[in-house]
Amino acid sequence: MHPDFPLPDVDWPPTRELWAGAARGALRIPRCDRCGRGVWYPEPPCRWCGGATMTWHDVSGRGHLFSWSVVRHAWIPQVADRLPFVTGLVALVEDPAVHIVSYIVDCAPESLRCDQPVHAVFRPLRYPGVERTVMAPLFTPTR
Amino acid sequence: MPSATADWGFASALDDVAGAVAIVGIGDADYTRASGRTTTEIAAQATERALADAGLTAADVDGIMYVPFSGDQLTAGDFRAHFGTTHAMWESDRGGGMVWAGSAPYDAALAIRDGRATCVLNTFSVAWATQRAQMVGGPGQVHAEELFKRNLEIPFGWFPQPVYFATIARRHMHEFGTTPEQLGAIAVACRRHAQHTPSAVMRDRPLTLADYLASPLIADPFRKEDCCLISDGGAAYLMTSLERARDLRQPIIAVLGVGVGNSRTGAYWSQQEAFTSTPQVFAAPGAFAMAGVAPGDVDVLACYDPFTIVSLMQIEDMGFCPKGEGGPFVAGERLSFDTGSLPYNTHGGLLSHAYVLGIAHVVEIVRQLRGEAAAQVRGARIGVYGGYTGPQASTLILARQ
Ligand SMILES: [Zn+2]
């Protein structure tokens, strides 16, 4: 297991650009060079057209809350002090088939609705026992 | 919002194997909490019982199927070592539980048709309760080690499977109006069936809908009872040609149809384009066509049910009701073995019998069609197993001849 689990490995080539973007406050996703659609997870070939290459672009960070769960049980001990938390899927405005998995923050869980507008906010992910932090895109309801 | 297009998955092309093979012996290992047994020991116990059930000996078995997943499964070498034989065996890693508990009879039928084997054993076993007690293995580990999940999902708390499927359930509720009471009806039916089934891990733990609704949410909208058990156990079944089956001791339970469906997004549920559907959409039509029967002809159904929502989606996707109407369909007594119109997971399923990943579901269907189940559906003649892994689904249609 990764020593900093559950933090991501920001140097892992397929997702390095996501974390580099988040460190400067930008949400980045790769698009297929052939059909222009988002390729998420970032792994060629393109699942839409089979294109072999993709290029990362900044996107607005705006999206819709596709679905979520309010987690009240610590299946991994590292999240015990965050309970309860909201984790879910955000469909990006630019490409709704791209579902970003993230925490949904600064909200009352019972107020959430499917498809409501949300936007990215950039915060450090911290876990107990892990010194390192990683700047990450989280999402919050757009008022 | 995007709507799912028909190209989110596809059906595997299968030869017609209707009537080519029968299930002639079944065996359960003991279903338990942590037992300290190995998966190979568990599978061997189930195999001994399947041989006794069929009235066959180890030397009669010349084909063996398993899946290289979740612990050491019973290989040909293990089989020979356990039974003290040295004979040649056709060996396939396309067997086991989950989706393969439903598709193994297809590969066995081809092997028997082509003369590679005459009598084929399929086994699957797990020791996840023992492994969890030892903090190794278990159902979450394979996901925790997958690099995209480890880098894009787990850092955000989207892990493990109960969280994935709670998220799916939430979307199903949004799209179709599915309610907690409807999900609860599935859990309650399975628990009631387990109370009739001596081998069920939860046989002494009654559950009412009021109990269900009063229990705490663990991954909202899921409660504990929406989620499967963690158990040790396993099962086995033996297959041979219909012609040979006529000389054996048990009633002939023939394979009428098999279908396999595939999702292009694999095990990344987060990116599944048809978020509230399973690949049963692609598996079931081919199986019913091969069998020459319709969902309305089915007397008893068993589906791989790691979570209540997976039962609901498969019941819809296999055509037992229109898509989105699964909630009202399963409500009340519909799934009950004695008063329902679609008796479902009559042994208790993964939710209340034991989490042995579907192999016990096939054994239960055979038992129902023989008329020897604990919670027996009166006069059951056609039974169906729905297998599921996420990336794939299978439909297996069995009938008493
Ligand atoms: Zn493309």
A107: DSSP letter: S
pLDDT tens by residue, B212-222 = 999 999 999 99
Distance CA B28, CA B38 (A): 15
Pick the more confident residue, A51 or B71.
Answer: A51
Instruction: Identify which of B157, B159, B275 has the shortest CB distance to residue A103.
Output: B157
Scanning B79-118 for CB atoms below 8 A from A yields: none
At residue B197's C-alpha, the angle toward residues B196 and B202, to 5°, is 95
Alpha-carbon dihedral sign for residues B141, B145, B146, B150: positive
The answer on pLDDT for B2 being more than 70 is no
Q: What is the pLDDT of residue B35?
A: 87
How close, in Å, is residue B162 to chain A by CA atoms?
9
Chain A residues with CB-CB distance to B262 below 8 A: none
How close, in Å, is residue B155 to chain A by CA atoms?
5
The answer on pLDDT for B182 being more than 80 is yes
How close, in Å, is residue A89 to chain B by CA atoms?
7
Q: What is the pLDDT of residue B6?
A: 54
The answer on pLDDT for A2 being more than 70 is no
The answer on pLDDT for B4 being more than 70 is no
- Chain A interface disruption, residue of B156, B173, B224, most A CBs within 10 A: B156
The answer to whether the CB atoms of B167 and A96 lie below 8 A apart is no
Pick the more confident residue, B49 or B264.
Answer: B49
Q: B33: how many CB neighbours lie within 10 A of its CB? A: 15
Which residue in this structure is represented by tokens 């396309």?
Answer: B94
How close, in Å, is residue A53 to chain B by CA atoms?
18
Mean pLDDT within B31-42: 91
pTM tops 0.90 = yes
The answer on pLDDT for B359 being more than 80 is yes
Distance CA B295, CA B157 (A): 39
> Which protein residues have their CB within 5 A of the ion that is ligand 1?
A 32, 34-35, 46, 48-49, 51
The answer to whether the CB atoms of B151 and A8 lie below 8 A apart is yes
Chain B residues with CB-CB distance to A79 below 8 A: 157
Would strands A99-103 and A117-125 be described as parallel, antiparallel, or unpaired? Answer: unpaired
The answer on pLDDT for B251 being more than 90 is yes
Which residue in this structure is represented by tokens 């009654």?
Answer: B206
Instruction: Identify which of B174, B217, B275 has the shortest CB distance to residue A72.
Output: B217
Mean pLDDT within A128-138: 96
Asked whether A122 and A135 are in contact (CB, 8 A), the reply is: yes
Q: What is the pLDDT of residue B3?
A: 39
Q: Poorest-confidence range of A16-25, B70-79, B162-171?
A: B70-79
Which chain B residue's Cα is nearest to A109? B220
- ipTM entry: 0.98
> Token pair of B331, please?
């409500």
Q: What is the pLDDT of residue B138?
A: 64
- Chain A interface disruption, residue of B151, B165, B275, most A CBs within 10 A: B151
Q: What is the pLDDT of residue B9?
A: 93
Instruction: Identify which of B159, B168, B170 has the shortest CB distance to residue A75.
Output: B159
Q: Which residues contact B181 (CB under 8 A, 6 or more apart)?
A: B209, B213, B331
Q: What is the pLDDT of residue B266?
A: 76
Q: How confident is the model at residue B56 (pLDDT cuts 50, 70, 90)?
A: very high
> Token pair of A135, please?
């700047």
Query: To the nearest whole percent, how much of chain B has pLDDT over 70?
Result: 96
SS3 A14: helix
Chain A residues with CB-CB distance to B153 below 8 A: 101
Chain B residues with CB-CB distance to A5 below 8 A: 150, 154
Mean pLDDT within B38-52: 96
The answer on pLDDT for B71 being more than 90 is no
Pick the more confident residue, B146 or B311.
Answer: B311
Chain B residues with CB-CB distance to A6 below 8 A: 150, 154-155, 157, 159
Mean pLDDT within B105-131: 95
Q: What is the pLDDT of residue B135?
A: 47
Mean pLDDT within B365-388: 98
The answer on pLDDT for B1 being more than 80 is no
Q: What is the pLDDT of residue B313?
A: 98
The candidate with the shortest Cα–Cα distance to A92, out of A134, A54, A64, is A64
Q: What is the pLDDT of residue B5?
A: 52
At residue B226's C-alpha, the angle toward residues B222 and B230, to 5°, is 120
Q: What is the pLDDT of residue B264?
A: 84
How close, in Å, is residue B284 to chain A by CA atoms?
24
How close, in Å, is residue A29 to chain B by CA atoms?
12
The answer to whether the CB atoms of B153 and A70 lie below 8 A apart is no
Mean pLDDT within B31-55: 94
Cα A44 to ligand 1 centroid, rounded to whole Å? 9
Residue B25: exposure state from Cβ atoms within 10 A (0-12, 13-18, ≥19)? buried
The answer to whether the CB atoms of A82 and B264 lie below 8 A apart is no
Cα A37 to ligand 1 centroid, rounded to whole Å? 6
The answer on pLDDT for B136 being more than 90 is no
Mean pLDDT within A56-84: 96
The answer on pLDDT for B62 being more than 50 is yes
Instruction: Identify which of B147, B154, B271 has the shortest CB distance to residue A40.
Output: B271
pLDDT tens by residue, B273-284 = 899 999 999 999
